[in-house]
Amino acid sequence: MSELQHDAAPGATSEVRRPRATEVEQHGIDTIPPEHRHSRPLDLFRIQFGGANTFATIILGTFPVLLGLSLWQAVAATVVGVVVGSLFLMPMGLFGPLTGTNNAVSSGAHFGVRGRVVGSFLSLLTAIAFYSISVWVSGDAVVGALVRLTSINDSELLRGIVYAILGAIVIVVVIYGYAFMLLVNKIVVVGNTVLILLGAFAYTSKVDLGYDPGSSAYALGSFWPTFVLSALIVMGNPISFGAFLGDWSRYIPKATSATRLLGATFGAQLMTLVPFLFGVVTATLVAGDADYVVALINLSPAWYAVLLIVVAFLGGLSTGITSLYGTGLDFSSVFPRLSRVQASLFIGSLAFVFILVGRLAFDLVGSVNAFIGAIVICTTPWMVIMTIGYVVRRGYYRESDLQVFNQGRLGGAYWFNAGVNWRGMAAWIPSAILGLLFANYPPLIEGPFRNVAGGVDLSLVVAIGFAAISYVVLLYVFPEPRYAFGPDGSRWVPTRDVTMPEITDDHRASEHRARKRATVGEA
């Protein structure tokens, strides 16, 4: 049985093959072999920053101002949200190199190989939200610039066509896979950063550094509730990467330094302050306008309105790709009937329907607010449980045992109770529910306990606190099997000696695979 050791030889040798960008990726959520581990922490940095250096992040940066904060209050809330979110996110880049697979499958070590569908659900929720946001706002920016610069009239039909073009291009890139996605993000890291920074020349004369709409503008009635809500919305951006970091870090060699991986993630998220603060500052210029994107384009000099089309287009591709890629990858393992390509097409089509319905039938700001809130509340405690599990397991994982469910087999080190580790589940489910009960993301998510602290949103504190405390208590009261830990044993928690379930074939799954092969052969 393959076991991962910390002293394993690095996979980065002269024999490592780096695929061409136009070569369709062959790997799904199977373990990436050493000879295919062609990425570096720098690539992890690029793909995170590229995926967030977009109009979708700019839009999130406008929320603190839209909620009534002054310019400098909004800047403070943005910095707090990015830094705190990054600290929770950092450990999630460690799993991919150790397990050779994505974070949802890796979570099977702590939630069970079947219970890891929690991670798949969070991945799906995040992908639909950020894919939709990216196509929404990027499409609106392209349309707004076209209307400003040409004689074209704005219409729902025009927006639908632009959404469709952007969405289709994203799906095509996702089908090609990781190498193509990495190429796109390398371009966006440099290109969009330069274009966004040029905004300093476009808007300098219009910026009011003393912008302050006054205390009567606070969306939640007073400063602290509004400040906390703003920081939580911003925090949703780094947290949204939690389920996805393993999609990209799985191509990094096993022996890569944990410090370099942590630094790549933290550095990439700090760089997102570029688009975030662009959103903060420009939101003060168009405060009060119903459509930020259109208002900003109308305010821009003609030369910068043209550049905003490029920013919107590149950014829409980058965010959409990073969101959709991982979910298509993971969805194919939850539903083995679908290949990675088929799963990506299915999720992409589902998200596009959501885009059209959401754009035409719902309030964009309210929808984004609610989705971001749900992502933060549900994903952060999952990440906390994963991080605690990583620490007590000393970063030790059995690669082949993580793949049991995906391969239609039973047993192994992470089988626990019929494929579910109820310790992780019993910590995550109540924490997410409690978080939602304390949440205050108006108008769609308003928990019954949202006002217990004078309107200050305690949802994240409650969710994180309950998840961390309950998971540690469960590990002490109901020790995990000794075989789930490495040769050095557990760190800080007790274990129990029991026999590890033997890995066997799930005959129903085997019959399904045989029928699938026969169907393909007949075709």
All structural domains of the chain, each given as residue ranges with its CATH number in brackets, are 34-522 (1.10.4160.10)
User: Distance between CA 141 and CA 118 in Å, rounded?
Assistant: 35
Residues 6+ apart with CB under 8 A from 433: none
Residue 518 confidence (pLDDT): 46
Mean pLDDT of the chain: 86
Give the confidence band of 30 by pLDDT, cuts at 50, 70, 90: confident
- 412, 121 contact by CB (below 8 A): no
What average pLDDT score do residues 233-246 get? 92
What average pLDDT score do residues 5-16 get? 45
Question: Per residue in 290-341, pLDDT tens?
Answer: 788 889 998 999 999 989 888 888 888 888 888 788 777 777 667 767 777 7
Question: Per residue in 395-436, pLDDT tens?
Answer: 999 999 999 988 889 999 999 999 999 999 999 999 999 999
Greatest mean pLDDT range, 130-134, 243-247, 505-509? 243-247
Give the confidence band of 509 by pLDDT, cuts at 50, 70, 90: low
Selected residue with higher pLDDT from 443 and 383:
383
What average pLDDT score do residues 192-215 get? 93
Residue 450 confidence (pLDDT) above 80 = yes
Residue 502 confidence (pLDDT) above 60 = yes
Residue 332 confidence (pLDDT): 66
Residue 12 confidence (pLDDT): 41
Question: Nearest-CA neighbor of 29 among 340, 261, 256?
Answer: 340
Question: Nearest-CA neighbor of 105 among 297, 283, 250?
Answer: 250
What average pLDDT score do residues 85-97 get? 97
DSSP-derived secondary structure letter, 480: E
Which structure tokens are listed for 434?
A: 């409690």
Give the confidence band of 507 by pLDDT, cuts at 50, 70, 90: low
Question: Per residue in 473-494, pLDDT tens?
Answer: 999 999 999 999 999 999 999 9
Give the confidence band of 114 by pLDDT, cuts at 50, 70, 90: very high
Selected residue with higher pLDDT from 46 and 1:
46
Give the confidence band of 517 by pLDDT, cuts at 50, 70, 90: very low
Which structure tokens are listed for 149?
A: 């610069």
Distance from chain centroid for Cα 290: 28
SS3 state at 481: strand
Residue 438 confidence (pLDDT): 94
Q: How much of the chain, in percent, has pLDDT values that exceed 90?
A: 54
User: Distance between CA 31 and CA 110 in Å, rounded?
Assistant: 18
What average pLDDT score do residues 371-389 get? 92
DSSP per-residue string spanning 321-371: HHHHHHHHHHHHHHSTTS-HHHHHHHHHHHHHHHHHHHHHHS-HHHHHHHH
Encode 483-511: b = buried (16+ Cβ within 10 Å), e = exposed: bbbbeeebeebebeeeebbebeebeebee
Instruction: Tell me whether residue 427 is exposed, middle or buried, using C-beta atoms within 10 angstroms of its C-beta: 0 to 12, 13 to 18, 19 or more.
Output: buried
- 333, 29 contact by CB (below 8 A): yes
Residue 511 confidence (pLDDT) above 60 = no
Residue 434 confidence (pLDDT): 96
DSSP-derived secondary structure letter, 202: H
CB atoms within 10 A of CB 474: 19
User: Distance between CA 326 and CA 319 in Å, rounded?
Assistant: 12
User: Distance between CA 177 and CA 174 in Å, rounded?
Assistant: 5
What average pLDDT score do residues 216-224 get? 94
Residue 384 confidence (pLDDT) above 80 = yes
Residue 5 confidence (pLDDT) above 50 = no
What average pLDDT score do residues 498-502 get? 95
Alpha-carbon torsion (244, 4, 417, 472), positive or negative:
negative
Selected residue with higher pLDDT from 185 and 368:
185
- 331, 343 contact by CB (below 8 A): yes
Residue 47 confidence (pLDDT): 92
What average pLDDT score do residues 227-252 get? 92
* pTM of the entire predicted model: 0.88
Give the confidence band of 269 by pLDDT, cuts at 50, 70, 90: very high
What DSSP element (H or E) covers 495? Answer: strand 495-496
Residue 360 confidence (pLDDT): 61
CB atoms within 10 A of CB 106: 29
No. of helices (H) and no. of strands (E), the chain? 22, 6
Give the confidence band of 4 by pLDDT, cuts at 50, 70, 90: very low
Least confident of 176-190, 222-236, 266-280, 360-374: 360-374
The amino acid present at 229, given as its one-letter code, is: L
Residue 223 confidence (pLDDT): 96
Encode 210-220: b = buried (16+ Cβ within 10 Å), e = exposed: ebeeeeeebbb
SS3 state at 496: strand
Which structure tokens are listed for 172?
A: 């095509």
Residue 395 confidence (pLDDT): 96
Greatest mean pLDDT range, 14-18, 161-165, 458-462? 458-462
Residue 199 confidence (pLDDT) above 80 = yes
Phi, psi angles (nearest 5°) of residue 454: 70, 25
Question: Per residue in 33-86, pLDDT tens?
Answer: 999 999 999 999 999 999 899 888 998 999 999 999 999 999 999 999 999 999
Q: Which residue has the tokens 């999130």?
A: 60
| Alpha-carbon torsion angle 155, 159, 162, 163, nearest 10 | -160
